């Protein structure tokens, strides 16, 4: 056994033993080690044994650092589909993405049932222009099959230098479709707004970045200026919005609520347990709202939809949402690295967990056939988009709604 591997074994055994002692309380009265401690020692030995065997017998030489980083990646990613280890470059990318600017093809993906699925392509992105749709399964990048168990690797292969070509193969029903495109700097304008009539407005939020609440507030102000006064109603479109920054979702919900809980979270640490509540000041002054959602509405989108629904502030229209009720915290490590770790499970104001369940709309309206292409074009079609048509009808016939939270 090499000196480096022996050193690793000592460190691993020390860490695991320390953990087992803290849990198991050390040796029992007769001097026999508890079962948990024995298992910890055995697993540490196994780790070192596998490490040494791979280094010695694998068909190609592998650097110690590469092996250990792979082990760390596996340890974190095996926890759940959303947790992952981030090297310095990946950590930099994730910090950039929260600002709404990054380089890639403009697509949100997740691991669903052992497959890498498209949650949504971002409006105006290479992926959207090429015709990739929400619900497509990514099967290959540049002709090389992806590993469905390694979501991070898929994301890394989709990203690259601006202008670099990439071919993404997706499966839709029984058909494999190749989409050729060039990567570009994605500057995501997360809010799109337009008037529906003299006193009704429409805003679509494509993701939740650090500036979304501010941009949405400005968009509503602009709509009210254009209509010559306060809006009588607003459609908030969260379809195909994959989520983003949790605090951004809280701030967006807060724009339309005067008081009451927006979201609660429960985890093992003190920081993972929290309650976020609304502050006085509804930018619509209680005007009627409709929120449109679909299967591509996930995470932060579900926080907003759930809060407005539970407080009777808005009617939720569309289909059931994605169902991602877990909160990830990015924890910085040494040398610019980090881990994105699932730390909390969040709950809507009514106390419901929507994980793997989703938000159930108040009025179920199925997606418009070919909807992703229609929605991502940035153009409203009030006749063909049946979900939007239902939302507009709701604005025109329902009275003003107020939060009922106390």
Residues known to be catalytic: 299, 310, 324
User: What one-character-per-residue DSSP string does 388-403 give?
Assistant: HHHHHHHHHHS-----
Q: How far apart are CA 15 and CA 35, in angstroms?
A: 17
Looking at the chain, how many residues does it have?
A: 406
Terminal CA-CA length for the chain: 66
E-strand ranges in 242-309 read 261-267, 274-277, 288-293
8 Å CB contact between 211 and 244: no
DSSP 286-312: T-EEEEEE-TT--THHHHHHHHHHHTT
Tally of CB atoms within 10 A around 238: 31
Residue 289 near residue 233, CB atoms below 8 Å: yes
Query: Which tokens hold the place of 244?
Result: 């983003």
Count of CB atoms situated within 10 Å of the CB of 110: 18
């Amino acid at each position: 056994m090499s000196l480096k591997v022996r050193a690793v074994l000592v460190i691993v055994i020390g860490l695991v033993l320390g953990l087992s002692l803290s849990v198991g309380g050390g040796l029992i009265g007769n001097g026999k080690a508890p079962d948990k401690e024995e298992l910890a020692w055995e697993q540490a030995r196994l780790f070192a044994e596998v490490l040494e065997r791979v280094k010695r017998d694998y068909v190609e030489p592998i650097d110690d650092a590469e092996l250990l980083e792979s082990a760390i990646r596996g340890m974190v990613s095996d926890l759940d589909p959303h947790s992952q280890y981030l090297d310095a470059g990946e950590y930099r990318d994730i910090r950039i993405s929260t600002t709404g600017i990054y380089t890639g093809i403009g697509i949100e993906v997740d691991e669903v049932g052992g497959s890498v699925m498209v949650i949504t392509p971002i409006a105006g992105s290479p992926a959207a222009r090429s015709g990739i749709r929400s619900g497509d399964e990514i099967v290959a990048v540049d002709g090389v099959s992806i590993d469905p168990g390694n979501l991070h690797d898929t994301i890394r292969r989709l990203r690259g230098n601006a202008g670099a070509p990439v071919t993404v193969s997706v499966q839709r029903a029984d058909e494999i479709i190749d989409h050729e495109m060039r990567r570009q700097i994605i500057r995501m304008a997360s809010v799109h707004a337009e008037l529906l009539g003299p006193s009704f407005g429409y805003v679509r939020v494509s993701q939740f970045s650090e500036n979304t609440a501010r941009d949405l507030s400005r968009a509503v102000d602009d709509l009210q200026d254009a209509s010559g006064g306060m809006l009588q109603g607003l459609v908030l479109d969260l379809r195909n919005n994959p989520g983003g920054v949790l605090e951004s979702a809280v701030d967006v919900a807060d724009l339309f609520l005067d008081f009451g809980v927006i979201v609660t979270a429960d985890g093992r640490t003190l920081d993972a347990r929290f309650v976020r509540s609304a502050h006085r000041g509804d930018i619509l002054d209680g005007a009627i709202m409709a929120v449109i959602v679909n299967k591509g509405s996930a995470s932060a989108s579900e926080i907003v939809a759930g809060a407005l629904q539970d407080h009777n502030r808005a009617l939720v229209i569309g289909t059931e949402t994605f169902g991602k009720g877990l909160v990830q915290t990015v924890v910085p490590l040494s040398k610019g690295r980090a881990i994105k770790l699932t730390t909390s499970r969040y709950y809507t104001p009514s106390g419901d967990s929507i994980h793997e369940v989703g938000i159930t709309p108040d009025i179920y309206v199925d997606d418009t056939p070919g909807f992703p292409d229609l929605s991502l074009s940035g153009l409203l079609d009030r006749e063909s988009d049946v979900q939007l048509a239902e939302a507009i009808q709701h604005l025109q016939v329902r009275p003003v709604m107020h939060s009922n939270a106390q």
